[in-house]
Structure 1
């Protein structure tokens, strides 16, 4: 089996690329008819009872081939990509021109540059439940992410 060579636009080298940072996934059911509007016809949607699995992925990378950046990915649904399945990105927002270029040219993502702002605020101490402790452990217990504006990719 021959491995296809990837043409890399900004000197990132061949995959796999390593991204280090923090991320949060939020998954939920999406009606298949809505998800299909974002997925090319040649891909088979993984679905059950008229639904697929979609959601979003929010990440803050402290080290990556494209440098430091934040990313929000809207997942339309899951598609069958033999021999496995994978999430289909309907929208990808990043706050870096280099990350936008890397996503578009090297990975084929529908990346767009956006402005992100983060606020870390003190919250009153609450009784810890298993869920709150988990959020604190992964760094999202008190973090608040906000999204401002949407702009096309600044470089073509």
Structure 2
């Protein structure tokens, strides 16, 4: 693992990690025709981020990459592998214990991608938000997971025993230009408008024990490409104060050209759950900070308490 030092206020937390959390997972399916629709979509604005352009070329919806992730177009076909679609999901975690301390997390697993050598297809996290800088820096350094800081608002305490509906909203950090620009996408011109919002309801049906360490569960390792340095049109470290704030919020890590693969495992009681989008137009995301995810299945999975293990990554160059 690299020896680069984190910011002074961020503790180093090398892998492996064992975490305890409440989790909500809601899947979706990206078909070949849906992929072609995304590729055929027109550029929305002249100021659209590199991340949105890369998403379109790959066949992903806008918001699949954080606006700070300045992925060069030349990397799309050669270095980042073909997007195959298939099963994806967005996932919420409320970690009560981890090597980086407690934090919240919103993940977008776009689906399956071909590895650059074409030998296998694996799921990939393309967009992810967490509530602490410690999780951002360590997640990026340990596993090439493209984490960014966000603010999470929940209507109920973690591990709540209530069977009623709860809501969650996620916003860009206070003072971020991305937060100021987010209102137009969410149907609310208020600077406080979230880029993601959903209502969540656990089922009253009993939970079923799940342990993906068992042989009956197929291994689905993540294969994460090298990260950008977050120095694109919404980043940089020049004289512009807004750009400096964005880079600080990202806790950018330098790219080393190394791919990292890891196969997380999960152990806990899983039960059915239901979700509804709360942004205008029946969207979960504002299509800038997070995909609209309108094809999300309304029925998913809730782990009231889950133990997540993230082993040391396997590193590779292509």
| Alignment TM-score, normalising by the size of structure 1 | 0.66
Aligned 1:50-129 pairs, distance under 5 A:
52-81=86-115, 85-120=121-156
1:149 aligns with 2:172: yes
Task: Identify the residue that residue 7 of structure 1 maps to in structure 2.
Answer: 2
Instruction: Answer with 18-27 or 79-88: which moved more.
Output: 79-88
Task: Identify the residue that residue 83 of structure 2 maps to in structure 1.
Answer: 45
Offset of residue 83 of structure 1: 7.5
Instruction: Answer with 101-110 or 64-73: which moved more.
Output: 101-110
SS across alignment from 2:111: strand
SS across alignment from 2:167: strand
Offset of residue 104 of structure 1: 1.7
Larger RCO of the pair (alpha carbons < 8 Å, separation 6+): 2
In the aligned structure 2, how far is the partner of 1:12 from the partner of 1:28? 32
In the aligned structure 2, how far is the partner of 1:37 from the partner of 1:102? 29
1:19 aligns with 2:19: yes
The 1:40–1:25 alpha-carbon spacing in structure 2 relative to 1, beyond 3 Å, is: farther
The 1:102–1:27 alpha-carbon spacing in structure 2 relative to 1, beyond 3 Å, is: same
Larger gyration radius, structure 1 or structure 2: 2
In the aligned structure 1, how far is the partner of 2:149 from the partner of 2:107? 12
Number of positions where the alignment pairs a residue of Structure 1 with one of Structure 2: 131
SS across alignment from 1:32: helix
Offset of residue 118 of structure 1: 0.6
Q: Which has the higher strand share?
A: 1
Unaligned runs of 5+ residues in structure 1 are 1-5, 122-135
| CA RMSD, 1 decimal | 3.1
In the aligned structure 1, how far is the partner of 2:168 from the partner of 2:122? 26
